[in-house]
Amino acid sequence: MKLSFHGAARTVTGTKHLLTLDNGKKYLLDCGMFQGMGAETDALNNEFGFDAKGVYCVFLSHAHIDHSGLIPKLVKEGFTGKIYSTQATKDLSEILLYDSAEIQVSEADYMNKRRGATNGEACHALYTVDDVVAAMSLFETIEYNEWVKIDEDVEVMYSNAGHLIGSAAINIRATENGKTTAITFSGDVGRYRSALLQPPAEFPQADYVILESTYGDKMHDIAFSTIENLEKWIKRICIKRGGKLIIPAFSVGRTQEILYSLNQLELEHRLPELNYFVDSPLGTKATEVIKSYKNDYNDRLQNILKIDEDPFLFKGLKYVDTADDSKQLVEYKEPCVIISSSGTADAGRVKHHIFSCIDGEANAVLMSGYCQPSSLGGRLLNGAQQVEIFGDTCNVKAEVGQIKSMSAHGDSDDLCRFVGCQDTEKVKTVFLVHGEYLAQQELAARLNRKGFEKVEMPSMHQEFILE
């Protein structure tokens, strides 16, 4: 059998790994969209590097768009198989994919209007809401920790990855010529000390491990907690300077973690009196879904539920729904906190907030997660004095910062702990994916020292024969 890598290869986005048996059957692990890759992004999303019609089924690890975002395009190009995921992943994917289609269509319209005057080449959305409807009809949900027979050669078991509600590591047993090969794909690995979720679960012994490596070379900042960090930023920017604090945040996962932290401040009577806005209809919907999977919460959060029935709701919190309300908020001059997506600031409503605030010294943009260097968030974090937004050059006068304690990804220690359940001598190869090359090299060296003899860092479209 063969394993090929068509995304998240020496980068952190666009996850797509293809397992091909000798009989030609193809099983796709995630079908993620590339995001924040600058000028390359469109080209990367246009070409899969394999034929969509030839894929037998999709195993989806979790709902984040960099893992699920091209499923509707796969369907549009002729894929008709099943898409396996947990129920929570299906629920979250549904709202994320509809949102993705809507954003693409409206951004294409916006760019086409702007380009109209210059006769530039027209922009096209990768897919529309109709393709999302078709994709959702192919989902088949499975429970954690149960082996499911996919066909006569392949069975699969999802184990909790602790990264997002419903997130899973995908454990595959594929049998060829009487010999079974065990392959585990980590998906994204969560943290063993997550604010909200249960820690990643152990997984069965594998011959091959495909391991994410986002923070392969880093340890999370736990000297200051997220709660203390948020309190300091809110007090400095909003209370002292009277500015607006813009927090770009993924709508699913990160937004709820921020709301939970602000709610904690309220429980401890430390929350500054202000208006707090969630300007993301998707964030609003995702919060409702996440509230309905309380069994996935960790013990600490289960205990908080006993004294606070809604740990994501506090005084001053307002949800912004319509596009008109969002436009009004862009014009709003009072000090406030705005949590809006996307997390890398490359798309979505947050881009408009940054566009209007970035030249004001009193304001701040506080990144809440990892940003690829080429994304708008990444460029701001790298200290750019000027950035291009909607085709305009903007001077960066607002303060830019990052809360590093907040990642939903495990750090280097967490990743090593995750694979710590394996007998290293039985693992033939660890493939590192979903990480920048430098981070991967450090993690590879660390895994070597732990006894994993062979660690590969696949490049885009690289193919490996699994013995």
Distance of alpha carbon 107 from alpha carbon 5, whole angstroms: 29
Which stretches of 2-153 are assigned E, i.e. beta strand? 2-5, 17-20, 26-29, 55-59, 82-85, 139-141, 148-149
Contact of 39 with 57, CB cutoff 8 Å: no
Contact of 280 with 251, CB cutoff 8 Å: yes
The residue among 7, 164, 178, 10 whose CA lies nearest residue 86 is: 164
Cβ closest to Zn ion, residue 289 vs residue 317 = 289
Min CB(383)–Zn ion separation in Å: 27
The residue among 336, 147, 107 whose CA lies nearest residue 239 is: 336
Name the residue with the smallest CB distance to Zn ion: 64
H or E element that contains 105: helix 87-116
Cβ closest to Zn ion, residue 64 vs residue 352 = 64
Distance of alpha carbon 223 from alpha carbon 466, whole angstroms: 42
Structure tokens at 298: 């960790």
Cβ closest to Zn ion, residue 62 vs residue 244 = 62
Cβ closest to Zn ion, residue 187 vs residue 378 = 187
Distance of alpha carbon 337 from alpha carbon 242, whole angstroms: 11
Contact of 144 with 178, CB cutoff 8 Å: no
Cβ closest to Zn ion, residue 233 vs residue 370 = 370
Residues 389-408 as b or e (16 or more Cβ within 10 Å = b): beeeebebebbbbbbbbbbb
Distance of alpha carbon 292 from alpha carbon 287, whole angstroms: 9
Cβ closest to Zn ion, residue 311 vs residue 410 = 410
Rounded to a whole number, what is the distance in angstroms from the first to the last CA of the chain?
7
Min CB(327)–Zn ion separation in Å: 30
Min CB(394)–Zn ion separation in Å: 29
Residues forming a β-bridge with 340: 248, 279
Cβ closest to Zn ion, residue 64 vs residue 244 = 64
Min CB(164)–Zn ion separation in Å: 6
Min CB(211)–Zn ion separation in Å: 14
Cβ closest to Zn ion, residue 181 vs residue 342 = 342
Contact of 430 with 456, CB cutoff 8 Å: yes
Distance of alpha carbon 360 from alpha carbon 356, whole angstroms: 8
Min CB(54)–Zn ion separation in Å: 26
Cβ closest to Zn ion, residue 64 vs residue 173 = 64
Min CB(271)–Zn ion separation in Å: 28
Min CB(224)–Zn ion separation in Å: 24
Binding site for Zn ion (CB under 5 A): 64, 188
Min CB(214)–Zn ion separation in Å: 9
